[in-house]
Every structure is written in structure tokens, then in C-alpha cells.
A and B are shown apart, each in its own frame.
Chain A
Amino acid sequence: MNFKSDNMRRILTLLALFGVSAAAWSAGADLGQAEKQATNWTAIGMFGGFVVLTLFITKWAASKTKSAADFYTGGGGITGFQNGLAIAGDYMSAASFLGISAAVMASGFDGLIFSIGFLVGWPVITFLMAERLRNLGKFTFADVAAFRFKQAPVRIFAASGTLVVVAFYLIAQMVGAGQLIKLLFGLEYWIAVVIVGSLMMVYVLFGGMTATTWVQIIKACLLLGGASFMAIMVLWHFGFSPEAMFAQAVKIKADLASDSGKTAEEAAKLGQSIMGPGNFVKDPISAISFGMALMFGTAGLPHILMRFFTVPSAKEARKSVMWATGWIGYFYLLTFIIGFGAITFVLTNPSFLDAKGGLIGGNNMAAIHLSNAVGGNVFLGFISAVAFATIVAVVAGLTLSGASAVSHDLYATVIKKGKADSASELRISKITTLVLGVIAVVLGIAFEKQNIAFMVSLAFAIAASANFPVLFMSVLWKDCTTRGAVIGGFMGLISSVALTVVSPSVWEATLGNPKGSALFPYASPALFSMTLGFLGIWLFSILDNSKQAKIDRAGFLAQQVRSETGIGASGASGH
């Protein structure tokens, strides 16, 4: 009996360990549930300053936003450098800033594995997609995917792919905002959701892509500036010697372990463990699958793809990704240093710790407490305000891309068959913005208590399994047809969502089914669903002998010529 229960306990522990690591994989940087802190007026004041500045920019942008083209792409006059910053602004979410620095603080090297995954998609976009996207597209990625195909079915697929990705990404951001505001400003959850929802609506409704771009540029500069300052202060403390910083962090981790009753040998081992890979990658299949979702998902995120149409030429598109990759890579190096800084400055300072020795407000406060340690209360307010501004900017970009999918792909192309005038298209996109804003607020409040850790990685998995294969095959494979793209795309979309639902992070952690009951054991579906998407496109294309298939294939040469040279591409004016 005893033996049996011991064994049982061991199995449960093992399962729990696996569950935790799977959840960590799928969550990566998740903000989780947070406790409300004391009201922080400095932070609220600084955020107020950000709001005033961005509202002025929105007013200026509104005077320039007259046509649908202005709304979708800011008139196409944004430079590669500006767009690169805006892409970085879109990509460096609050979850990656707070979550990755927290992950580094908790487990060191493992946090680095995660940020590398987020970065490696960018070169692939540069080498294979960016220029061709710019040469073929106008407002949305569906313009590219449907270039030589029958418009309606491909647009309906692309709009579904866009809206599903945007929905999951939006919910994650809104819930993150609500949790953050409790931590950073000491205000109620619902206030955050309403503030983010209404600010985003103002930016997008009045200022369209121009305002959204500038909000993202400002936010990217503030975030990069603040994070640089923190990293420099940490390194300065150690005389700019990384070895000294790492040695101190290892010592602190070892001391903490020996305080909690570990033997000297175990403690030393635990201390050193932050310098190498730990349990982050449990099974290789999950690791590869998750890596694929991150690498190729980036190339299928509609709000990122849309940014390539804001620049005037393929050359500027290429420069945008160059700058974006540089800034994002630099940012991840900073978060690594910030995480180690948090070990040395925050974990040793009782004023940041609660009675149980944990961080006040939870692990995600690592970077926030560090800002206090290195820059005092005013800098704490600054970083808190930036973290919140980050969410507003990301949400604005998401909403704009969702609104474009409805107004440009569904309304103007599918319903009006390309005969909608600019004014009515603009009106539909504004109405959609309002609707999406309200939906985002409602969902944000509805999901308050839910475990939404899986949502961002699900968004990446769907983007990698549905949007990316269709875009990739339609641009690069001659024999791809309308039927193949639509069926394959939907196969990727449906399978990625379905496999996520029956994976441990949703089936067990969110839906509350018992441990081990999930049908799909891996942390990310991408390896399977992306393969299915590509296979579906290939199979249903080569089997396609319809009249439409002949038209589709015949159109490839003209598409290729334009994608390679840009001759005939939609110009800077967007007409």
C-alpha cells in the first residue's frame, strides 16, 4: 500500500514536472495572474505623458488620413529605418520584456533559448519574403496570397487566418494589460482593459496606419532606451565584466539553494545550473515543433506582414527587416543581462521580496524591481509606463490588421468584387475597428481569470501552419492553385487550433482535465500542422485539373516577374 502510494506520488511528480515544462514552452513569456499593488502615481503620470504625446501625433496623422490607402499603409511613405523601428515596436511585447527577463532570472540560460526562437524567423523573412511581399502586395497579405488566384476563396481564407491569429494575440495582450496595471499602477483590472481598448480605438480610428506606426516607433525607442539604461547600469556595477556578473549570480543562486536546506554540493550545482540548459527542452519533438512555430510563425503574422506595405519600395522593405532584426536582437541581449541583473540586485534585496522569499507581485516583476534598484522611483515609474504603453501599441497594430482584413479583403474584394470606392472602404474599416475594440474589451474582461498562457504561442502556430504556407507556396511554387491554397490553408488552420486544444497546456492546464489525459502530448502543434498545411496545398494543387487551375498556373510568370523586379508594383502613393 505504502509502496503503491509512493510510486503514485513519484509518477504524479514526474507528470507535474513535464506539465510545467510543457506549459513553460507554450507560454514562454506569460504574465499570468497578478496581485494588485499600491497605486503608483509616478508611473501613471509618465503614462499620461505618453498618452498626451501620442494623441497629438494622432491628431496630426488624422489630417493625413483621407483615403483607404492612407488608413492601411500611411500612404506608403514610411522609410525603411522608421518601419524597422515600428516592426520592432510591434514585436517587442510587454510579455517578451517582462516575461523573458523573468525567465532569465528564474532559470538563466533557458530564458536565452526562448528569445533566440523569437529572433530566428527574421532572416528567413528577409531572404525569401520581404521584397517579394512588397512588390506584390498593396494593403494586406491577402493581396499577395491571392495575386494570381480566384479572389473570393483565397481572400476568405486569408481573412479567417488573419482574424483568428489577431483574436488570440489580442486576448493575450488585453489580459496581460489587465494583470500589468494591477502590478504597475496599482489600479483595477477592468480599468486597464478599458484604457487599452479606448486608446487603441482612438489611434486606429483617427490616425490609421500613420498614427499606429508612430506610436510603435515612440514605444520602441522608449523601451530600447530604458532597457539599455538598465543593462548598462548592471554591467557598470560589475566593472563591465560579464564574468563578474555571472559569478555573482551563480553565487546568489547557490546561497539561496543552501538557505532552503540543500547540501553545499547540491547548492553549488544548482547555482551553476543557470549557466547551462535546464529543463526547458524536455523532449526533442516539442523543442523542434516549438522552434518551427516561432521561426515560421513570424513570417505569417498578419500585423507584421502588413508593415511591409507601408514602405515605398522593395529596397526599403529589405532595410526595414534589417533594422528590425538588429533592434530585436539587441533587445534580447539586453533582456538577458537584465535577467541576470535581477538575480544580483533584486533577489538579494529584502525590500523587493515578500515573506516567502518570492518577488513582490510575482516573477514577472523582475525587470520592474530592477528598474527601481538601478534608477530609483522615477525610473521605476518610467519603465512601468513604457511596459504599459507597449501593450497599447501592440494592440493598435493588431486591430488595424484585423480591420483591414474585414474591410479590404472581405468587404471590398469579396462582397463588392473590387468595385468599392475608397470612401466606403474606409468607412467599413473604421466601423470594424470600433467593433474589434469592443470585442477586445469584452474578451479581455471575460478571460480575466483564465489561463491564457497558450494564446501567443497558439497565434504563432496558426500563423506558421496556415498563413505562412499559403503565402510561401503562392509566391514561390508555380503549380500552386486556388483550390490547393484554400484547402491546404484551412487544413493548417484547423489542425493547429485542434491540436492545441487537445495539448496539455489547454486540455489540462486551462480546461482542467486530469494530468496526462491530453491526446496530443507535445507543447506545440507546428511540426505537424505546418507539415499538414504544406502537404494539403501540394496534394490538392497537383490533383487540381480544373479550368481555374490552368488560369492560376498561367498567371505565375507575370506574378514572378513582378515579385522579382517590382515592375508594376503598387507605388508609394498607394494607387
Chain B
Amino acid sequence: MDDDLVQRIASNPKYQELKAKRTSYGWWLTLAMMVVYYGFILLVAFNKTFLSQRLGEGVMTVGIPIGFGVIVFTIVITAIYVKRANKEFDDLTAEVTKAVLK
């Protein structure tokens, strides 16, 4: 890519919008994932009794749905990102490409 093209893309407002939106969205979701995972690990390390607490009359404990929940959360949060990126971010990318390569 030549410098001129780089400058044109970098100064394109749609490009700046794409960069800002995707970067901050990515970081927020990363933060959410870290909070959930390390929260779980710290719970395991410091509050075993909470996780081993029974939910009702049966043997089911608080820990099992939480553990399964972390796995499901991981899949869902990935899907949420991909859904927004497939639509919004790809549309913005296409607009940038169209604007600078015409």
C-alpha cells in the first residue's frame, strides 16, 4: 500500500468510526470475559464453601450451574461479538473500501 492510500483511509471518518467502535467493543468484551473467568477462579480459590453449597434438597450445588454457566457464557459472548461484527463492522469496512478504492 502506498502512503497516499494509507493517509486517505486513515483520515476517512468511516474508518475512524470502525476502528474506534471495534477496538472499544473488543476490549469491553475481553474485560467481561476476564472478570467472569478470574471471578470464577478466585471463587474456587477463596470461597469453596459457597460453590459447594447445596441448591435444594438434592445433591445439586451452586458450583455446577456456575461452572456450566461460564462455559455457556464463553460461547454466547463470542457469538454476540461475531453477530455485531458480521453486520455492523463488515458494513463499515465495505463502506471504507468503496470510498477509498473507487
Contacts and interface: CB of A to CB of B under 8 A. Distances in A.
A23 B91 CA distance: 49
Interface string A311-346: 000110011011001100110110010000000000
B10 A113 contact: no
Among B10, B59, B64, B77, residue most surrounded by chain A Cβ atoms (within 10 Å)? B59
A325 B74 contact: yes
B93 to A, nearest CB: 5
Contact of B67 (A112, A288, A325, A562): A112
A109 B93 contact: no
A276 interface: yes
Contact of A291 (B9, B41, B54): B41
B45 A281 contact: yes
Given A246-B60, A276-B52, A558-B3, 18 more contacts: A113-B44, A113-B67, A115-B71, A116-B67, A120-B33, A120-B70, A120-B74, A127-B81, A131-B85, A242-B60, A243-B60, A246-B59, A247-B58, A284-B42, A318-B82, A325-B78, A336-B68, A564-B22
B58 A246 contact: yes
Interface of A: 109, 112-113, 115-116, 119-120, 122-124, 126-128, 131, 242-243, 246-247, 250, 272-273, 275-278, 280-281, 283-284, 287-288, 291, 295, 314-315, 318-319, 321-322, 325-326, 329-330, 332-333, 336, 557-558, 560-562, 564-568
Contact of B78 (A113, A123, A242): A123
A83 B75 CA distance: 17
Interface in B33-66: 33-34, 37-38, 40-42, 44-46, 48, 51-54, 58-61, 63-64
Contacts of B37: 116, 120, 291, 295
Given A120-B74, A124-B30, A280-B44, A322 B79 contact: yes
Interface of B: 1, 3, 5-6, 9-10, 15, 18-19, 22, 25-27, 29-30, 33-34, 37-38, 40-42, 44-46, 48, 51-54, 58-61, 63-64, 67-68, 70-72, 74-75, 77-79, 81-82, 85-86, 90, 93, 96-97, 100-101
Contact of A272 (B18, B44, B59, B81): B59
- Chain B interface mostly helix, strand, loop or mixed? helix
Contacts of A336: 68
B1 A568 contact: yes
A565 B71 contact: no
A558 B38 CA distance: 36
B64 A275 contact: yes
- Chain A interface mostly helix, strand, loop or mixed? helix
Nearest to A332: B71
A267 to B, nearest CB: 14
Contacts of B64: 109, 112, 246, 275
A490 B10 CA distance: 33
A337 to B, nearest CB: 10
Contacts of B6: 557-558, 561
A139 to B, nearest CB: 19
B78 A322 contact: yes
Contacts of B30: 123-124, 127-128
Closest 4 pairs between A and B when the two form their complex, measured CB to CB: A276-B52, A127-B26, A284-B45, A275-B61
A119 B74 contact: yes
Nearest to A279: B48
A239 to B, nearest CB: 14
Given A123-B81, A275-B63, A277-B48, A116 B58 contact: no
B75 A558 contact: no
A250 B37 CA distance: 27
A122 B82 CA distance: 12
Contacts of B61: 109, 275-276
A507 B79 CA distance: 42
A27 B72 CA distance: 25
Contacts of A273: 52
B42 A319 contact: no
A424 B8 CA distance: 39
A313 to B, nearest CB: 9
Given A124-B33, A291-B38, A564 B19 contact: yes
A123 B34 CA distance: 10
A565 B72 CA distance: 30
Contacts of B63: 109, 275-277
A275 B18 contact: no
A144 B31 CA distance: 24
Contacts of B59: 243, 246-247, 250, 272, 275
Contacts of A109: 51, 61, 63-64, 67
Contact of A315 (B15, B40, B86): B86
B45 to A, nearest CB: 4
B81 A126 contact: yes
B28 to A, nearest CB: 9
B51 A276 contact: yes
Contacts of A329: 71-72, 74-75
